[in-house]
Amino acid sequence: MEQLAITSLVSRQFAAITDRELREFVQARLVPPYCIQGDWQYGPQRSYPCWVVLEDPSADVIVVFCEEKFGSTDPWGIMNLSTRSMGMDANWHVALEHAVRNSSIWKGRNPIGYEVP
């Protein structure tokens, strides 16, 4: 995937967020997408292209889009910028909104009855 396609995808994902507080939170942390190599810890040591779309440097947290490994079903991941580990499957989500809601940087409330899809 190329940067223009990622930018378009992020725009669509952002538009789907209806919670005003979460939209403001995400908007303040969005960055122009850039690609890093995410380290895969399972099986043979490999790395995969992950597009950083959101950053909170003070917490060392990034949200990325990746089509590899967990990305085949849950392409939005929460990673630490310093380690670049792709982490566990629980860090990967179907949408940008869910990745942010389930990250350590989101301190807002989730809707009543919210469950991770």
What integer pLDDT is reported at residue 71 of this predicted model? 72
What integer pLDDT is reported at residue 70 of this predicted model? 81
Residue type, 98: H
Closest of 28, 48, 53 to residue 38, by C-alpha = 48
Helices 3-15 + 20-29 axis angle, to 10: 160
- State both tokens at 82: 């310093």
96: part of which helix (H) or strand (E)?
helix 96-101
67 CA to centre of own chain = 12
Task: Tell me the chain's radius of gyration from C-alpha atoms.
Answer: 13
What integer pLDDT is reported at residue 56 of this predicted model? 97
What integer pLDDT is reported at residue 41 of this predicted model? 82
What integer pLDDT is reported at residue 2 of this predicted model? 92
**CA pair distance 117, 110, nearest whole angstrom:** 13
What integer pLDDT is reported at residue 44 of this predicted model? 77
Residue segments in the chain with a per-residue pLDDT below the cut of 50 = none
What integer pLDDT is reported at residue 6 of this predicted model? 97
Domain ranges of the chain: 3-101
